[in-house]
Structure 1
Amino acid sequence: MSRDILFEIEAVDRTYVDANDNMVEALKNINLSINKGEFISIIGPSGCGKTTLLRLLAGLDVPESGKIRLSGEEIGGPDPTRGYVFQQSSLFPWLTVEKNIASGLMARGVYKQRKDEIAGYIKLIGLNGFEKTYPHQISGGMAQRVAIARALINHPVALLMDEPMGALDAFTRADLQDKLLELWRENDTTMILVTHDVDEALYLSDRVVIMSPRPGRISEVLNISLSRPRQRSSADFTALRNSILEKLHLVSEIQQPEYTI
């Protein structure tokens, strides 16, 4: 796996106005480098800015101050080279599985040149036989696989995922986690996952980024040196899980500032 830097996040702050017209610091002084080919998970308490950080990497939002660079170039907006998968699959309900996967190609005007790739991605995500089905005819796990394939067919350098498995049952979630690892190995795509699930972060990641409550800061970045494939019941896995849960408990107890007008 290459160790070249893909993303550089330098002294990033993000502030917004909430529903009560209060100024809220979502992120404060975020500094992080992400290497090409890494699998990174971002975890932390609710409201700590995980999704905000992911949206900044995608170019769907802009920092108040600081810089975010992709391969040395400052990010100026969304781009197909950064695929984004939402918590809900967000498939087009009027399109079949294969047409949903093709929708990105159509939007970019390259469908005719690359339509032959669609069958390969359907096979890659294990949905052969479901090409002509519609989103309401498949399970939530299948729908998320389609959403991932829709992002990957654009050949992104990074796949950004905002809790894509959060609403799935345990069996489907574990199955999709293994599929993600398979896709990661086969495509050498940098993957950045926002999750609340410590086991998920440990099972998938090279590094885990722990964030503290608002204003969101990076509390710690842990290198996960467990060999793959990982066993969730192993002593080393359990020890790391307990350590991270303790760290999350500590950061969640940080006194949050009061906002007044």
Structure 2
Amino acid sequence: MSNEILMEVKSVDRTYMDANNHTVEALRNINLSIKRGEFLSIIGPSGCGKTTLLRLLAGLDVPEAGVITLEGKEVKGPHPDRGYVFQQSSLFPWLTVEKNIASGLKARGVYKENKDEIAQYIKMIGLTGFEKVYPHQISGGMAQRVAIARSLINHPAALLLDEPMGALDAFTRADLQDKILELWKENKTTMILVTHDVDEALYLSDRVVIMSPRPGKISEILEVSLPRPRQKNSQDFMILRSSILEKLHLASTVPQVEYTI
């Protein structure tokens, strides 16, 4: 990770109308600098505007006040320089694994000159042998790997991850976390993850952005200096976990032992 700033969020506000025609203030005065090559996680209580912020970074939504820039240029809409991975894989069900990945190239009109990269990315995500398989024939974790490869093959400056592991079982989730870390190290792509999982944020991130309840504001940015690979049951990890949970008002100062059966 360098100290060079890749993206900046400057004094951003966002409100919208809910189903009952009431004004909802989703974000208020968000200021954030995202470094090139870092892994940044955004956590906070439900409804605090995490996904709204991610959609603004992607250009899928626009702020009512403030500005978002990528490499000094204002973000005004979606672009392949910002990949986006949804909670559900959102693969095209009528396309095979390799054709889903190729769709990223075709959308940019660069398929012919870059099609040789498809096999490279299939190998990178660990799905060699599944090239001709359709989405309904693979697991949720495998489908998310394909969705990530479909974004990464465009060589984005930043990959935006909207709880891509939220619907997965514990074992598949842990496996995908490790694969995402591997891809991050290999590609040196800036990654920005929205998650509800404090352990996930600490395991993956260089920094964790903690957001307050609506209207969403950044209450703190925590540097995670733990060496990798990180052990989720280590004392230092548990101390950081406890600290974040306290800030989120979700736990006492002493973390409780959790079991997955």
Q: Given the two structures, how large is their TM-score scaled by the length of structure 2? A: 0.95
Inter-partner Cα distance in structure 1 for 2:121 and 2:86: 19
Which secondary structure does the structure 2 equivalent of 1:118 belong to?
A: helix
Matches within 5 A, 1:31-70: 31-70=31-70
In the alignment, which residue of structure 1 is the partner of 2:83?
A: 83
RMSD: 1.0
In the alignment, which residue of structure 2 is the partner of 1:172?
A: 172
Matches within 5 A, 1:9-24: 9-24=9-24
In the alignment, which residue of structure 2 is the partner of 1:134?
A: 134
Inter-partner Cα distance in structure 1 for 2:83 and 2:72: 19
Which secondary structure does the structure 2 equivalent of 1:249 belong to?
A: coil
List gaps (5 residues or longer) in structure 1.
Answer: 251-261
Inter-partner Cα distance in structure 1 for 2:122 and 2:3: 30
In the alignment, which residue of structure 2 is the partner of 1:256?
A: none
Task: Give the superposition deviation at 1:104.
Answer: 1.1
Inter-partner Cα distance in structure 1 for 2:54 and 2:107: 23
Partner deviation per Cα, 1:215-252 (whole Å, 9 max, x = no partner) = 000010000010111000100001110110110017xx
Matches within 5 A, 1:66-145: 66-145=66-145
Which secondary structure does the structure 2 equivalent of 1:165 belong to?
A: coil
In the alignment, which residue of structure 2 is the partner of 1:215?
A: 215
Question: Matched residues, percent identical?
Answer: 81
Matches within 5 A, 1:148-187: 148-187=148-187
In the alignment, which residue of structure 2 is the partner of 1:199?
A: 199
Task: Give the superposition deviation at 1:198.
Answer: 0.3
Inter-partner Cα distance in structure 2 for 1:170 and 1:118: 29
Q: How many residues align?
A: 251
Task: Give the superposition deviation at 1:74.
Answer: 0.7
Amino acid corresponding to residue 159 of structure 1 in structure 2: L
Inter-partner Cα distance in structure 2 for 1:232 and 1:25: 35
Query: Is residue 248 of structure 1 aligned with residue 259 of structure 2?
Result: no
Inter-partner Cα distance in structure 2 for 1:177 and 1:36: 20
Amino acid corresponding to residue 98 of structure 1 in structure 2: E
Amino acid corresponding to residue 211 of structure 2 in structure 1: M
List gaps (5 residues or longer) in structure 2.
Answer: 251-261
Task: Give the superposition deviation at 1:55.
Answer: 0.2
Partner deviation per Cα, 1:28-52 (whole Å, 9 max, x = no partner) = 0000100000000000000000000
Inter-partner Cα distance in structure 1 for 2:108 and 2:75: 19
Amino acid corresponding to residue 237 of structure 2 in structure 1: F
Amino acid corresponding to residue 244 of structure 1 in structure 2: I
Inter-partner Cα distance in structure 1 for 2:214 and 2:104: 35
Amino acid corresponding to residue 198 of structure 2 in structure 1: V
Amino acid corresponding to residue 72 of structure 1 in structure 2: G
Inter-partner Cα distance in structure 1 for 2:109 and 2:184: 26
Amino acid corresponding to residue 22 of structure 1 in structure 2: H
Task: Give the superposition deviation at 1:3.
Answer: 1.4
Inter-partner Cα distance in structure 2 for 1:92 and 1:189: 24
Task: Give the superposition deviation at 1:2.
Answer: 1.8
Inter-partner Cα distance in structure 2 for 1:120 and 1:2: 26
Partner deviation per Cα, 1:53-75 (whole Å, 9 max, x = no partner) = 00000000000000111111110
In the alignment, which residue of structure 1 is the partner of 2:259?
A: none
